[in-house]
């Protein structure tokens, strides 16, 4: 499993996939926004890899989750931080793992409360499948299919590595 998930290789793939997307869409001045926590580490790395000048953004989607009526508020919520205007910008939204698609829906709802972006590209390190909403990433470094009780999570920030764990009791 670890051989399949070499971090440098995954990051290379994410970077080249993004460069391709930007070129195809003729986007020259994008901003990166990472979803806390794993997505923020990736946004930090890719901001440097893509040679972007400005800062990247951090989203905490706790106030936008769709399961408040079932599990309540995340007690560890931190302020989101978008140190730039999003109105009219081309945004690259990054998360470590995509599964149901609910996190991305929440993140896009939150992003629109800052202004109306020109476009959003979605990039994730890992795609677990098991989608519950019609949301697909534009760039994925690796697709994984695990047993239903298994989850992956990006751990970090130093060193960045991927953890696969069982949710069974």
Partner 1 sequence: MTAYDPSAPSLQLTRDGQLKHFLTLDGLDRPLLTDILDTADSFIEVGERTIKNVPLLRGRTVVNLFFEASTRTRSTFELAAKRLSADVLNLDINTSATSKGESLSDTLLNLEAMASDMFVVRHSQSGAPHFIAESVTPGVAIINAGDGRHAHPTQAMLDMLTIRQHKHEFEGLRVAIVGDILHSRVARSQISALKTLGAKEVRVIAPATLLPTDVQSLGCNVEYDMTRGLEDIDVIIMLRLQRERMEGALLPSEREFYRLYGLSTEKLKLARPDAIVMHPGPINRGVEIESAVADGLQSVILNQVTNGIAIRMAVMSMAMSGQVAERSQAQSNALPKGINS
Judged by DSSP in three states, 13 sits in: helix
User: Which of 22, 64, 98, 152 is close enough to bind partner 1 by CB under 8 A?
Assistant: 64
Whether 129 contacts 143, CB under 8 Å: yes
- Name the one range near partner 1 by CB under 8 A: 46-54, 109-117, 140-148, 149-157: 109-117
- Residue placing its CB nearer to partner 1 in the complex, 13 or 62: 62
Judged by DSSP in three states, 162 sits in: strand
User: Which of 80, 108, 120, 127 is close enough to bind partner 1 by CB under 8 A?
Assistant: 80
Q: Which of residues 42-61 bind partner 1 (CB under 8 A)?
A: 60
Task: Classify burial at 1, counting beta carbons within 10 Å of its beta carbon; exposed 0-12, middle 13-18, buried 19 or more.
Answer: exposed
- Name the one range near partner 1 by CB under 8 A: 72-80, 122-130, 134-142, 151-159: 72-80
C-beta of 142: minimal distance to partner 1 in Å? 32
Query: Considering only CA atoms, which of 35, 29, 31, 37 is closest in space to residue 110?
Result: 35
Q: Is residue 63 close enough to count as binding partner 1 by CB under 8 A? A: yes
Q: Is residue 113 close enough to count as binding partner 1 by CB under 8 A? A: yes
User: Which of 70, 143, 148, 159 is close enough to bind partner 1 by CB under 8 A?
Assistant: 70
Radius of gyration of the chain (CA): 16
Rounded Cα distance between 63 and 110, Å, is 9
Structure tokens at 100: 């149901």
Residues that bind partner 1 (CB under 8 A): 60, 62-64, 68-73, 75, 77-81, 87, 109, 112-115
């Amino acid at each position: 499993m670890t051989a399949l998930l070499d971090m440098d290789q995954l990051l290379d793939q994410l970077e080249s996939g993004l460069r391709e997307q930007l070129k195809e869409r003729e986007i020259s001045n994008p901003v990166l926004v990472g979803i806390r926590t794993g997505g923020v580490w990736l946004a930090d790395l890719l901001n440097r890899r893509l040679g972007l000048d400005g800062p990247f953004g951090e989203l905490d989607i706790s106030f936008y989750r769709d399961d408040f009526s079932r599990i309540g508020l995340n007690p560890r919520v931190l302020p989101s931080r978008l140190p730039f205007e999003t109105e009219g910008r081309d945004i690259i939204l990054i998360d470590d793992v995509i599964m149901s698609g609910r996190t991305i829906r929440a993140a896009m709802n939150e992003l629109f409360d800052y202004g109306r972006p020109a476009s959003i590209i979605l990039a994730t390190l890992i795609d677990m499948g098991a989608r519950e909403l019609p949301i697909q990433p534009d760039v994925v470094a690796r697709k994984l299919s695990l047993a239903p009780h298994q989850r992956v999570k990006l751990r970090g920030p130093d060193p960045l590595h991927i953890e696969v764990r069982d949710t069974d009791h």
